[in-house]
Chain A
Amino acid sequence: MKDKKPMKSVFKAGAITSEFIGNSIYKHQTKTSIGAHNIFLGQVRADDIKGKTVSAIEYTAYEDMANQKFHEVRESAFEKFDLTCMHIYHSLGTVKAGEICLFVFVSSPRRKVVFEALEFIVEAIKADVPVFGKEIFEDESHQWKLNS
C-alpha cells in the first residue's frame, strides 16, 4: 500500500536532528515490503565568500505555495517511480553550518528505483519550491543564497 497522506507541512523549525532522522528510519522496520531506502541530507556549508565565512543560513519561505509545490513534487514522484513511501522535511529559521536543513527519504521494494527517485525529488525541490536562504556571516553581515 502506498503511503499517500493528505497534504501536511514539510517545514520544521530549526535544524533537522540526527535523532529525528534515525527515528524516521526506525519507524520503517514495520514496513516489510520495503527492500531499499535512500536518503538525501542537505547540510549547511561554511562557504568562504570574499574572506568571510558563512556561519548559518536563515531560511524563509512562501509557505502556502511551498507546501503546494512540495505536494506536487511528491505526487509526480509517486507517479513516476514505484515508491512505497516518501518523506520530505525542510528547515525554516536558523540552521548553523554543519547542521542539516533538508531531509528526503524514499523507500521502495527495489534499490534502482530509490536512486533515481531521490535525485528527481531533490532537483525538483531546488528548482520549484519558493524557499529563500539568508547566508549569515561570522561578522553578522549577510548575503542571499542562490541555488547553483
Chain B
Amino acid sequence: MLITIKYFGQIAEVTQKEEEQLEVSKGSVSGLLNTLNTKYSDLKNKDFQIAQNQELVDLDTELTGAEIALLPPFAGG
C-alpha cells in the first residue's frame, strides 16, 4: 500500500525532505522503520516518535495505510 510519510525538524534534515510517498508491504510500524533506516542511515542516531493518523503509536502497531509522521522531541512553548 502507498503511505504518505512526513518528516519534521531534525528528522527532515536527515531525510532532506519533508514528505514522501512510499509503497510499503502490510505489517507493523517496525517493518516500515527498518525500510526507512536502510534508506536513511543517519536515522538510527536520532531520537523520534512515530505517529499514525496523528496519534503516537509503538513499533508493534499495524500499519493501516494512514499518514505516518516521524516526530523529533517536542519543543513547544
Contacts and interface: CB of A to CB of B under 8 A. Distances in A.
Contact of A133 (B6, B71, B75): B75
B72 interface: yes
Residue among A62, A66, A128 with the most chain B CB within 10 A?
A62
Contacts of A59: 75-76
A60 interface: yes
Nearest to B70: A62
A62 B51 contact: yes
A64 B16 CA distance: 21
B32 to A, nearest CB: 17
A127 interface: yes
Interface in B29-77: 51, 54, 69, 71-77
Given A62-B8, A62-B69, A65-B69, A132 B54 contact: no
A122 B77 CA distance: 8
A130 B74 contact: yes
Interface residues of B, number: 14
B74 A129 contact: yes
B10 A130 contact: no
A134 to B, nearest CB: 7
A49 interface: no
A31 B21 CA distance: 49
A147 interface: yes
Contacts of B10: 132, 144
Nearest to B69: A62
A132 B77 contact: no
Given A65-B69, A132-B9, A134-B9, A145 B51 contact: no
Interface of A: 42, 59-62, 64-66, 68, 90, 101-102, 122, 125-134, 144-147
